[in-house]
Amino acid sequence: MCSDLAVLEVMEEEKLMGNAVMIGKYLRDELEAISQLKNVRGRGLMIGFDVPDELKDLKKNLLWNQQIFTGEAKPNVIRLLPSLALKKKDAEHFIEAIKEEINNLQSIQED
């Protein structure tokens, strides 16, 4: 039980819940601005979004090309559940990486 209290104390001291709300809103807003992604949803840093069939390799490309691991709920749903201590610069890096991989996938389809 002591370790549970220690976790809660750290969460409070480091304002992790407020960070999750702020960075989560930033991520959802940025993901919603990417027209290829659909049905962006979530609360705090628990975020999910739908990927169209033509971008089905997005999750795999994020892992292999960008070293970004994401979760999967269904084949065309990407799920995010990062640390509550996620920094804005890391969230910005993720958004840039996802845009880059979408562009890469679309350019392959155009060839």
Per the structure block, which two tokens stand in for 6? 């220690």
User: How far apart are alpha carbons 32 and 16 in whole angstroms?
Assistant: 24
Local structure of residue 53 (DSSP, 8 states)? G
pTM, two decimal places: 0.87
pLDDT band, very low/low/confident/very high, at 4 (cuts 50, 70, 90): confident
Give the homologous superfamily in CATH for domain 2-110. Answer: Aspartate Aminotransferase, domain 1 (3.90.1150.10)
Q: Look-up: residue for tokens 């958004």?
A: 95
Output the CA torsion 55→60→63→64 (10° steps).
-110
Per the structure block, which two tokens stand in for 103? 């562009």
Q: Give every CB contact of residue 91 below 8 A, 6+ residues apart in sequence.
A: 23, 26, 27, 30
Per the structure block, which two tokens stand in for 56? 């089905």
- Could you report the per-residue pLDDT of 7-50, keeping only the tens digit for each? 677 777 778 888 999 999 999 999 999 999 999 999 999 999 99
Q: What count of other Cβ atoms lies within 10 Å of the Cβ of residue 105?
A: 18
